[in-house]
Amino acid sequence: SYEVTQSPSVSVSPGQTASITCSGDKLGDKHACWYQQKPGQSPVLVIYQDNKRPSGIPERFSGSNSGNTATLTISGTQAMDEADYYCQAWGSRVFGGGTKLTVL
């Protein structure tokens, strides 16, 4: 079955750019989406179809997907962005293991 992998953790300083990656075989041939989950809360979709933002998601969230890697980029990271982030390879429905983003 298809698998996608994420780094367990990423740290970033407030105001800087955070990049969270998701790797899978020919992932660029599928659509990738990204979810944010804060402790005790349900996940929230922040990127779909590789690079589209749902209504209400701040412009600082962006995405790309090419080759074997999808990337979630958070520009001007804020303390409120500290959360777990999960990628999902659409079509296979599988989630990555999640990346804990720490804003130091």
Partner 1 sequence: EVQLVESGGGLVRPGGSLRLSCAASGFTFSSYSMNWVRQAPGKGLEWVSSISSSSSYIFYADSLKGRFTISRDNAKNALYLQMNSLRAEDTAVYFCARTINDGYAEWGQGTLVTVSS
Give contact residues for partner 1 (rule: CB under 8 A).
Answer: 1, 31, 33, 35, 37, 42-45, 47-49, 52, 54, 84, 86, 88, 90, 93-98
Q: Which residues pair with 73 in a beta bridge?
A: 19, 62
Smallest distance from partner 1 to CB 20, Å: 14
CA dist 66 and 84 (Å) reads: 22
User: Which CB, 2 or 16, lies closer to partner 1?
Assistant: 2
CB of 75 to partner 1, least distance (A): 21
Among residues 78, 89, 87, the alpha carbon closest in space to that of 6 is found at 87
Residue type, 2: Y
